[in-house]
Amino acid sequence: MPIPLIIPQANPKASYIVHKEEINSAITRVMESGWYILGQEVAAFEEEFAAYIGVDFGIGVGSGTDALHLALMACGIGSGDEVITVSHTAVATAVAIELCNARPVLVDIDPSTFVINPDQIERAITSRTKGIIPVHLYGHVADMPSILSIAHSHGLRVIEDCAQSHGATYAGRKSGGWGDIAAFSFYPTKNLGAFGDGGMVLTNNPELAERVRLLREYGWRQRYISEISGLNSRLDELQAAVLRVKLKYLDQWNEERRKKASIYTKLLEGTEIVCPTEKEPVRHVYHLYVIRTKKRDSLQAFLREKGIGTLIHYPTPIHLQNAYKNLGYRRGDLPVTEKYAQEVLSLPFYPELTGEEMREVQEQVKMFLSGDQKR
């Protein structure tokens, strides 16, 4: 029988408990309105979140994967095209590319930040390359000036995957405000999370914005009349209302994450654990606190026995997964990615995590490392 988790890796319910009255009020407002799809709440949240990121247009959709898929479609990426991205990411990044009948071209990551290494991009470009997806993994923004420079010199679209970087900045400019178009996820455990699936596409380009609006709802500009072939991917009113409440607290929560990341790093100082870093001029928002250790699997098992939850983001790189054998990669092609996939471990981490809980995690990690596992 599994040991119940005393300290979970993530706890999306915690933010609901803290803001229960305000969130319940927003939900009641929607239920009493009688309008549940693409109404005033979605329109208001689209405007508010776009303004928060610093772009002109936001289009709410059904999920983060849908946001990436629709962003790629809006950019005209389709059959036979190639899109460069990383293998060390959630598989959704590759799924969105394949949904366009395009081919993911996977490159290695920066060893200090876990995000795409710009030095690897140029050599991956071919005559079929149409776009680059930098994934702002774990809350750390990729080197956008370098990526944009490469993209512009080759006439490529830049589609930002911001599923884990709500509010993160590079030189003061938020993720999602750099590329041609950006995709966000509002999965419950994100820094800004709904109580179900949800996503948004953001852009400063009015033509791309209009195309995404058409694509998300059957190609309709006029109801029941499809101008183009589209999909059904709509952010619902309930989730938008919840997200409007939560958006007001996002900066506060991100600051709390940054403080807690600093505490963890200090608590684990002097051990063999490799803690995450922040590379100037990035302001990391620590969607996850991801350590590295060669003893990852045994440490995870030990912590689980102590009631401490952890997760591995991500255990098998995309290029080595069975579903992507057709891409033609072999073990050894992306050495940093492959090494880190054997070492990364996400510790319990969310704004409401207490100092006492963090110290308990530290004590158990140190106990494991010392070999004293009798407690």
* Structural domain span for residue 26: 13-247
* Domains contained in the chain, number: 2
Question: By the 8 A CB rule, do 62 and 233 touch?
Answer: yes
Q: What is the CATH number of the domain that holds 303?
A: 3.90.1150.10
Query: Does residue 41 sit in the same domain as residue 114?
Result: yes
pLDDT at position 192? 98
Domain end marker among 187, 213, 247 = 247
pLDDT for position 373? 47
Domain shared by 200 and 301, yes or no: no
Q: 241 lies in a domain?
A: yes
Amino acid identity for residue 36 in this structure: Y
Q: Are residues 273 and 360 in the same domain?
A: yes
**Strand-pair partners of 132:** 84, 158
Q: Are residues 132 and 237 in the same domain?
A: yes
Q: Does residue 192 fall inside a structural domain? A: yes
Q: How far apart are CA 141 and CA 124, in angstroms?
A: 21
- Per-residue confidence band for 375, with pLDDT thresholds at 50, 70 and 90: very low
Q: What is the CATH number of the domain that holds 36?
A: 3.40.640.10
**Domain-located, residue 211:** yes
The whole-number pLDDT of residue 282 equals 98
Q: Which of 247, 266, 288 is the last residue of a domain?
A: 247
60 in any annotated domain: yes
Q: Which tens digit of pLDDT belongs to each residue from 359-374? A: 999 999 999 999 854 5
pLDDT at 195: 97
From 210, 230, 247, the end of a domain falls on 247
Rounded percentage of the chain residues whose pLDDT exceeds 70: 98
pLDDT of residue 1: 52
The answer to whether residues 78 and 188 belong to one domain is yes
Q: Number of C-alpha atoms within 13 angstroms, CB side, residue 203? A: 25
Q: What is the pTM of this model?
A: 0.97
